[in-house]
Every structure is written in C-alpha cells, then in structure tokens.
Amino acid sequence: MRYFPSALFIALFALSSGIFLFSSPERVIAFIGVENAYLLMFLLALSGGLTMFSGVPYHLILVTLATGGLNPLLLGMVTATGVTLGDSTSYFIGYQGMLLIPKRLQAMAQRLFSAKEKYPRLLPVIFFIYGSCLPFSNDVITIPMGFLRYPFWRVMLPLSLGNLVFNVSIALLAAYAYGALQVIPFLGR
C-alpha cells in the first residue's frame, strides 16, 4: 500500500506513453476530441508550471496535438497561458518564502539582489530570451525573483511572452515538419 501512488503514476505514464507511441496523432485527436485536446493541453501546461522543477512532458503532447491537425497557434497560446498561470504560483511561493529560508541562503539571495540592482533593465530581456529559447523549468527564474521581491509584472510579462514564442514555435514546427515528412514515400502512411 505504501508504493501504490508511485505504482499508479508509473502505470498511467506507461499507458499514456503506449497510446502516444502506437497511435497516430490523428487517432489521438479523434479519441480525445478537439475541444478536450485544448483543455488537456492547458491542464498539462498548468501542472507543468505548478510543480516545481517538474518533469511534466507537456511539450511531447503539444507536438502530438499539433501534428494531429489542431491549430498550432491556438495550441501554443493555450500552452503558454497554462504555463504562465502555473509559474505565477512559483513566483508567489518565492515571494513568501524569503521569510522562511535560513540565514545562509539569505546571504546568497543578497548576491542575487546586487545583480538585480546592477542590471535592472537587462533582466526582463534575459527573462524573455530564457522563456523563448529554453525548454527548462521557469522556476529557475520565478522563485528567486520572488525571493528578491522583483516586481511581478517585470518577471512574468517577458517570461510569458517568451513562453508564447517558444510554444507557438514548437507547435508550428511540429505541424509543418510532420506535413513535410508525409510527402516522403517511405515515411508517409
């Protein structure tokens, strides 16, 4: 009984991986439904943003849904919205967490604070570039900036725009690459 939650998670992950591995994207869309697919993408992106340093592979589902024929622009926007809402919670956890961290870690936070003071206009640009180029967790930015009481909108707006660029780009690339690969005779179905 102690291992039941872990075993259930592994079983669900294996089942969903099997579905996506052995089914075409079109079949997945037909099974889930178009409206439910957008909702599924939003919820997966939200959970990816909510869990700190998560391993929720919502990018794989984004690619599958985009290659299945859904609107890549809308998919990217739905995904970016979910990630942004989830990352907002990480920012507020960091904002409240400054009161809870030990003195040693507060000294490290002070070093970050000096960088924040030294380059105030550069940080939003860095946040945008990070969000638009890297598929890593945004918690690396949101939690420390919350600790430092960096203004919410100066963190989340550029990071959200970067997430939008990244997710729309992935969806568009997947949709058009899949269509281009279908033309090749031995790869088409």
- Please check whether residue 99 lies inside any domain of the structure: yes
Q: What is the pLDDT of residues 92-139, one digit of tens each?
A: 988 887 666 666 666 666 666 777 778 778 889 999 999 999 888 888
Encoded tokens for 144: 């420390």
- Residue span of the structural domain in which 139 resides: 4-183
- Please check whether residue 188 lies inside any domain of the structure: no
pLDDT band at 3 (very low <50, low <70, confident <90, very high): confident
Between 52 and 3, the more confident residue is: 3
| Domains: count for the chain | 1
According to DSSP, residue 135 is labeled: -
Residue 161's pLDDT is what? 97
Residue 189: pLDDT over 60? no
- Please check whether residue 163 lies inside any domain of the structure: yes
CA–CA separation, 159 and 89 (whole Å): 14
pTM of this structure: 0.76
- Please check whether residue 132 lies inside any domain of the structure: yes
- Please check whether residue 12 lies inside any domain of the structure: yes
Residue 113's pLDDT is what? 72
Q: What is the pLDDT of residues 137-186, one digit of tens each?
A: 888 888 888 888 889 999 999 999 999 999 999 999 998 887 666 666 65
Residue 5's pLDDT is what? 72
Report CA-CA distances (Å) from 179 to 21, 68, 69, 119, 163.
Answer: 18, 10, 10, 44, 24
Encoded tokens for 104: 């040693």
- Please check whether residue 189 lies inside any domain of the structure: no
- Please check whether residue 106 lies inside any domain of the structure: yes
| Contact status, residue 51 vs residue 43, Cβ threshold 8 Å | no
Who's near 146: CB < 8 A, 6+ residues apart? 90, 91, 92, 93, 94, 95, 96, 97, 98, 155
